[in-house]
Amino acid sequence: MALEQELETYRRNLSGMLDQEQRYVLVQGERVVGFYDLMRDALKAGYEEFGLDPFLVKKVEAVEKPLYYSRNIKPCPT
């Protein structure tokens, strides 16, 4: 699975990041790099610093809201 180390770093540090809730965190390896108000700013910083090396951008949330997707999606009528 991709980004296992970054996700573990996020989970391990979450309780200490809750003062930044609803902001976006940039994580690379075992390092929390920084926090950003906008996802695009976090992504830009990640690409500028790490290029194509793996990094994670994730919204800091005490409780993650599940996303639901339906399999009953009809094909585009084109």
pLDDT tens digits for range 42-75: 999 999 999 999 999 999 999 998 877 777 767 7
- Residue 30 belongs to some domain of the structure: yes
What is the model's pTM?
0.83
Which burial class, exposed, middle or buried, applies to 53 when counting CB atoms under 10 A from its CB (0-12, 13-18, 19+)?
A: exposed
pLDDT for 19 beyond 80: yes
- Residue 15 belongs to some domain of the structure: yes
CA gyration radius for the chain? 15
- Residue 26 belongs to some domain of the structure: yes
How far apart are alpha carbons 57 and 21 in whole angstroms?
13
- Residue 41 belongs to some domain of the structure: yes
Residue 47 belongs to what domain range? 4-59
The alpha carbon of residue 51 and the mean position of all alpha carbons in its chain are separated, in whole angstroms, by 16
Q: Number of folded domains in the chain?
A: 1
- Residue 24 belongs to some domain of the structure: yes
